[in-house]
Each structure stands twice: as C-alpha cells, then as structure tokens.
Amino acid sequence: MKTKSIPIIIILIAAAISCFASVIQGVSFDIFTKRLFWTVIIFAIIGVIVSIVMHQGFRTMESEEEQTEEVAEDTELENVSVEEQEK
C-alpha cells in the first residue's frame, strides 16, 4: 500500500480544522497565522510517524505472506516428488 500521501492528508485536515476554529473564534490575523503554522508543523511530524509505522506494518504483512507462499510451494513440490517416486 502506498503511504506517501498520508502525512499530506493529515496536515490538510488539521489545517482546515484549525482555520475553521480560528474563524469561528474571530481571532486576529497574527494569532491565526501562529496557530496555523504550529498546527502544520505538529501534524506534519505526526503524519510522518504514522506513515512510517504503517509502512513497517505493511512490510511485515508482505513478508509473512511471502513466507506462507514459500511453505505452500515447498509442500506442493514435496507432494509431487512423492507421487513421482510412487510411479
């Protein structure tokens, strides 16, 4: 699975929520920009961490699937070998 776009999506959602909250509260432009800046920085870090964790999880899942496929292939080869020996 592609996890490259996850940090960007997290940042955009967090920035949108921060903007809406600041507009509803009617804060000044100075406070608005500081909130938006820190929101983007914090959620960029969170997004990168989530992306790394998900990437590691999918890599583990893929290696487990490969191992089960190898075991299945080995058993098929053993079954074929036994059948050929019986002939």
pLDDT value, residue 55:
84
For residues 11 and 15, what is the distance between their CA atoms, to the nearest angstrom? 6
Q: How far apart are CA 54 and CA 17, in angstroms?
A: 24
Answer whether 0.75 is exceeded by the pTM. no
Mean residue pLDDT across the chain: 82
User: How far is Cα 59 from Cα 47, in angstroms, rounded to an integer?
Assistant: 18
Give the per-residue pLDDT at 1: 62
Question: What's the pLDDT tens digit per position in 45-75?
Answer: 999 999 898 888 877 777 767 777 666 666 6
Task: Give me the torsion for CA of 23, 29, 34, 35, rounded to 10°.
Answer: -10
pLDDT, one tens digit per residue, over 29-48 is: 999 999 999 999 999 999 99
